[in-house]
Chains A and B, each alone.
Chain A
Amino acid sequence: MRRAALLLGLALGAASVANARAPDLAQGRAVALGGGAGDQQACAACHGADGAGVMPIYPRLAGQAAFYLYKQLLDFRSGERESAVMGPIARRLTPREMEDVAGFYAAARAHYSPPADADGAQLQQGGTLAASGSEERGIPPCANCHGQAGRGMPPSFPYLAGQSKDYLAGQLAAFRNGSRRNDPLDVMRRIAGQLDTSDVSALAAYFAHVYPPARIQ
């Protein structure tokens, strides 16, 4: 019941930032590769032309839900999600450019190669927490919202699979310390508050090793 209400709330939250017009992918590509009209850096310099992310600190955008990406850009602009890098970039984009570039990266397909280092015990700890949560510690399964194996549930729940360890751990820390407070109904801030450092490393390592959606051969 509680969960149904929560999911409904999240869905309504999503509807309130409705982007009615279909994104123009060619314009989105122009922004990604050349920056927008406002003279910002090309997104591709950090996120890659294919959205794979050129370094572990830059999140993977390829195939992420367009609505989620668009909402992040709005939140960087408003400061609800603080980022010294993305804040100024987002503030120079027009809403239309945001829609287009979000659509472009949502449609992108990018390579993925799992990180070389793997600790089987840690992967299992993270994987189990992700799939089953921990009832006694009040941690819901990440799969409830982020989908099985972190594949995401568009439009509002981002995939986590295939994001880098550093990025994931960084976001969990940001939810925890409140510098990221753009999650509807505080869901992620509450969950992040329940996780200890070993959970965070295990979850981050696990999701970093899971193949992002649509990469099965």
Chain B
Amino acid sequence: MRLAFALLYLLAVSPAYAEQGDRMKGAALADQGRNGVPACRSCHGDKGIGDGSGAFPRLTGQLGFYLYKQLKDFAAGTRPSPVMSPIASALSDREMQDVAAYYSAVQGPFFPLPILDAKLAQRGGMISAAGIPERNVPACIACHGPAASGMQPSFPYLAGQYAPYLEYQLDQFRLNRRQNSPLNVMNDIAARMTEEDMRAVSEYLAAVRPPDLSRIGASSTGPASPYAGAPLATYQSTR
């Protein structure tokens, strides 16, 4: 019920971002920064793939609107971060759109997977696919899309994201430090999870590789990544 509201709300607010960022300008900012703004690359790595550590999130091919909204929220303080808030505050709205457009369109390799704890990963897989019914935790894939590979316009992909990063963000939601999810859905969900649940689902999601959607809508003018700017309608009609 709550979730349905969140969906409606998101669909209603999304037009602020028109998927019109200039990727080339975004690429220049990401790789070189500018006076007063460090290069995104210095932490997020080449093409946003990170450095394998999980200190910094993977941005490669993340949804454009989602990225743009996070930058807005870092600047506004609803997602406070000692690292990102000052950087986001220094960016213009235009620059946020450009850099979001760049990362949403770029593709990049994954680091090899660490050795997984099979039991933990299995538990995480259950949570992702079915939730934890007795504690009212919904399945991740209900919002984050099939195989948690993201759902336009605002549900980020979780598949292939770094485990330590995911766990840390769940904790930030649980502690109400991160308050930028619509109607605080994520805070409610995280509050009903144990540390063990968070760990398990994070380890599992980090190990999921996005499904090969490369044939969907593939054309010379199509998006560079299956997650990139494809409008919601294309997604539904081709699935």
Which A residues fall within an 8 A CB radius of B? 113-114, 116, 118-121, 123-124, 126-128, 131-132, 143, 148-149, 161, 206, 209-211, 215-217
Contacts and interface: CB of A to CB of B under 8 A. Distances in A.
A135 to B, nearest CB: 12
Given A124-B83, A148-B41, A210-B51, A119 B111 contact: no
B28 interface: no
A113 B54 contact: no
Interface string B111-129: 1101101000000000000
B142 to A, nearest CB: 24
Nearest to A115: B114
Chain A CB within 10 Å, residue with most, of B43, B53, B115, B165: B53
Contact of A161 (B51, B82, B110, B163): B51
A127 B56 contact: yes
A217 B49 CA distance: 12
A129 B148 CA distance: 31
A184 to B, nearest CB: 24
Nearest to A120: B168
Interface residues of B, number: 28
Interface of chain B, main secondary structure: loop
A147 to B, nearest CB: 11
Given A119-B164, A217-B112, A148 B42 contact: yes
Contact of A209 (B49, B54, B117): B54
A124 B52 contact: no
A118 B52 contact: no
Contacts of B51: 127, 148-149, 161, 210-211
B42 A118 contact: no
Given A143-B42, A148-B42, A124 B110 contact: no
B55 A126 contact: yes
Contacts of B52: 114, 209-211, 215-216
Given A128-B43, A148-B42, A123 B53 contact: yes
- 8 A-B pairs closest in CB distance: A120-B168, A127-B55, A211-B52, A209-B53, A149-B51, A123-B55, A118-B164, A120-B164
Nearest to B168: A120
B98 interface: no
Given A119-B164, A121-B168, A149-B45, A216 B55 contact: no
Contacts of A161: 51
Contacts of B53: 114, 123, 127, 149, 206, 209-211
